[in-house]
A and B are shown apart, each in its own frame.
Chain A
Amino acid sequence: MPWGLCVVAMSTFVQISFSGLATGAIFALAAVGFALLWQTAGAINFAHGEFIALPAVIMLILGEHRPTLGMPDWVPLIGGTELAGPLPEIGIVAAFVVTIPIAILLLGFVFKVSLVDRLLTPGGDDIPLVIATIGLGLVIREYLRLEFGATPQQFPSVFGTEVWRPGRIAISADDVGILVVSIAVILALQLYLRRTYTGWQMEAAAQSPNTARVLGIPVGRMILYTFGINALLVTVAALLVSPTTNARWDGGISLGLFAFTAAIIGGFNQVRGALFGGFLVGLLQNWSGYYLSSAYRDAIPLLLMILVILWRPQGLFGIAEERTI
């Protein structure tokens, strides 16, 4: 291959790989949430995609788009353009900060207490919770549609629209921002789990709840913390992905599907597995979209998921679990 063509091919490869990593980082954030809930509580949440769509709408209500969403006047305009001045992205960041406790309350505490604790009993069946979360996802979707309409809402990017061009590659500030923030959040989470006393307690509660109880670890509280962390992760994911997907009532469907796919591929019971799965799915989508056809961009990751289930059910990085019947 001539040198010039080789440079073009490599540039294109780097270009689409970088975009794929940015998308994959969001899948990874969501997939880690899947893995955390499974590890600590044995819960699978099929409303996970909607858990990302909901904070996005909350952020818009609190920030930029209140009039469009037709909210009543008593809803405070936190971070809205009046306060943010000429920098609307400051508004959405402020709205993000306020959304975090709301999400932790709704998607963490309320979700756990009202649904998970009631349906997931020790040694019991997972199916009721699975069905309930599928229903919950449907309820959230339809609520968003009925309350805020079917029209997607533009969501401002925190990182702006600047584009850098090193050589033949175009790298957007948004992609860089997504990648940096996602990796920072995941590293912070790993540090928290590995380097803090509470993190050790959470790990212990996840690995062996009974032993942890004997050691005096408040297992229930640790599980609650996990739900809170999951709520934080989906809120971060909402902030990062919504400028691309827009805030939409049905925006969580494909996101939830591919986060789940990523968690299965990487390993549902390992955070690092889910992390790897997220990046891999993002890359596979872009590579297959470019080198094969867009028609295969969703099919290839799903095909890989089927192969993983067939040949390595615990996932590429997962640990085989046995269950006594």
Chain B
Amino acid sequence: MTMVSRWPKPLVLLAALTLAAAACGDDDDGATTDTSDGATTEAPVETTADTSDGATTEAPVETTADTAGSATTEASVATTAECPDGESVPVAVPYEANQPAGENWRLGLEMAVAEINDAGGILGCQIVPEFQDTQADPDVSKQVVADMAEGSPYVFLGTVFSSNTIVNMVEAQRAEIPMFVGAEAPAITNREENGDNDFIYRTSFGVDTASDKFISYIVDQGVTSIDMIYKNDEFGAGGRDAYAAAFEEVGIGIELDIQVQPDQIDLSAEVAQLAGGGADAIFAFMTEIETAAFLDEVQAQALEKPIYGGDVLSAASTIALVQPGAADGTITHAGLNASAPVFADWRDAYAAFHPAANPPDHNSIKGYTAVYIVKEVTERIGGFDNSQFSDQLHCATITVDDEPGVLLDVTYDGNGDIDRESYIVGVVNGVGEIVETTPPLDNLADRGC
């Protein structure tokens, strides 16, 4: 059956032109805007704020919000501003859809976006994320970010892989768009190596920061020599270099230095080498797949040495992959450990939001908090002027009181790296348990502030 329009063509054309004109016009006309969940927000009256496209907007003075959102965002819709794109704010999410880290990043991010949008959005603007798969390929990720930058998103949220981020962050920098990443390689926020990048922000510790916090614990355990095993990519090699330097600084000698190829699943030869080594302990720095294979092989060869490592070693996403008991006894510094009691409520909310997903891990938390950090900074700016992120976020602190969605108090240094409380986590009976809480480094003066 064919539907025939009874509307005369001139009328349709007129209607279309009217709609187009309305879309192009200013929104600061005092209109009341219904958000998608029925939240009603009275429009702004005065004050000025630069929007991301350079327009000057009357900023909000009086706003009422009747949100149905979560408790965490109850007080979040304090103001409204002109949205960058009609009633919404576009954010670009380049991520590794084919990797657990990327997938968990997206799941956490989606949850935060839904919560914020349900509560009325950021300054009354609904967040509209555009997801693009980078295929965990550095070249593809660079092209994806370059293409997305053409659409002038408010911010980039991603990527997670260091090998991708190190390549694609240049495109965000070129477009002068802030980029929040889950990547941890030291070079990403090192101004000597990243071209003095003012637009890059981490959502967790860089490896060099983490090593500063973890090393004293390892020394306290009486370790004087260590064997290192790491993944041969930007993430693994960057982590290995950062920790090797830290070990050298405190006088821990490195005996074996073994690299593992990406996606290598048979590590029997490498574990046999470690078993024959004479060091006091082992330090492992790999991503989930290789770490799981490593731990399974350690169990298979009954290797009994203390094993320390980066976030991934004792992450829930790794424990979920290993054979029963294989991760027990491992100890790691966890900047964000989803098993920590402080995240208990959040974990429940995550499980309710993503009932079919695996338990959340540190990448889920990174993705989640990234959105809330953007929200808080935007509200501090008072509008969608992403050129002010550097002024607002570098050397600044966001507390949970400021914005409950950041989950933990976080301080940014002058390079986009973070400082906060963190944990030493040990795995007992397949569950990560906090062994020790490490305080913030509180050394911002040495870190560009």
Contacts and interface: CB of A to CB of B under 8 A. Distances in A.
Interface of A: 8, 12, 15-16, 19-20, 23, 67-70, 145, 149-154, 156-157, 161, 163, 165, 170, 172, 174-175, 243-246, 248-250, 253-254, 282, 285-287, 289-290, 293-295, 297-298
Contact of A297 (B100, B264, B325): B264
B28 interface: no
A69 B322 CA distance: 17
B358 interface: yes
Nearest to A71: B356
B97 A150 contact: yes
A170 B301 contact: yes
Nearest to A8: B276
B70 interface: no
B100 to A, nearest CB: 4
Contacts, number: 125
Nearest to A293: B259
A36 B302 CA distance: 38
Contacts of B97: 145, 150
Contacts of B300: 19, 161, 163, 170, 172, 174-175
Contacts of A248: 289
Interface of B: 96-100, 102-104, 232, 258-261, 263-266, 268-270, 272-273, 275-276, 288-289, 292-293, 296-297, 299-303, 317, 320-326, 356-358
Nearest to B320: A154
Contact of A161 (B321, B324, B357): B324
B356 A15 contact: no
Contacts of A67: 356
A290 to B, nearest CB: 4
A246 B292 contact: yes
A156 B323 CA distance: 7
A149 B364 CA distance: 15
A244 B301 contact: no
A157 B292 CA distance: 14
A161 B293 contact: no
Given A70-B356, A150-B99, A286 B268 contact: yes
Contacts of A19: 266, 268-269, 272, 297, 300
A16 B261 contact: no
Given A149-B103, A298-B261, A16 B272 contact: yes
Contacts of A290: 269-270, 272-273
Contacts of B297: 19
Contacts of A298: 261
Given A152-B288, A170-B302, A295-B232, A254 B263 contact: yes
Given A70-B356, A290-B272, A246 B289 contact: yes
A295 B303 CA distance: 23
Contact of A23 (B259, B266, B302): B266
Contacts of B357: 68, 149
B76 to A, nearest CB: 30
B103 to A, nearest CB: 5
A151 B358 contact: yes
B299 A161 contact: yes
A4 to B, nearest CB: 13
Contacts of B293: 244-245
20 contacts: A16-B269, A19-B266, A20-B269, A150-B98, A150-B102, A152-B288, A152-B321, A153-B321, A154-B292, A161-B324, A170-B275, A175-B300, A244-B293, A244-B296, A246-B292, A248-B289, A286-B268, A294-B260, A294-B269, A297-B264
A163 B302 contact: yes
Tell which of B260, B268, B323 has the most Cβ of chain A within 10 Å: B268
Contacts of A23: 266, 268
A36 B323 CA distance: 33
A165 B272 contact: no
Nearest to A22: B268
A20 B268 contact: yes
A165 B302 contact: yes
Contacts of A68: 356-358
Given A15-B275, A243-B296, A294-B260, 9 more contacts: A16-B268, A69-B356, A149-B103, A149-B357, A151-B103, A151-B104, A244-B265, A297-B264, A298-B261
Nearest to A255: B265
B299 A163 contact: yes
A248 B263 CA distance: 11
A207 B260 CA distance: 43
Contacts of A165: 302
B344 to A, nearest CB: 21
Contacts of A170: 275, 300-303
Contacts of A285: 266, 269
A282 B269 CA distance: 11
A206 B270 CA distance: 42
A16 B272 CA distance: 7
Tell which of A8, A151, A153, A172 has the most Cβ of chain B within 10 Å: A151
Nearest to B97: A150
A23 B358 CA distance: 29
Contact of A172 (B232, B264, B301): B301
A11 to B, nearest CB: 9
Tell which of A15, A70, A244, A248 has the most Cβ of chain B within 10 Å: A244
Q: Which 7 A-B pairs give the minimum distances between C-beta atoms?
A: A19-B268, A289-B269, A70-B356, A172-B300, A290-B269, A151-B100, A170-B301
Contacts of A172: 299-301
A9 to B, nearest CB: 9
A195 B297 CA distance: 39
B272 A295 contact: no
B246 to A, nearest CB: 23
A295 B297 CA distance: 18
A161 B272 contact: no
A295 B237 CA distance: 13
A312 to B, nearest CB: 27
B291 to A, nearest CB: 11
A163 B356 contact: no
Contacts of A153: 321
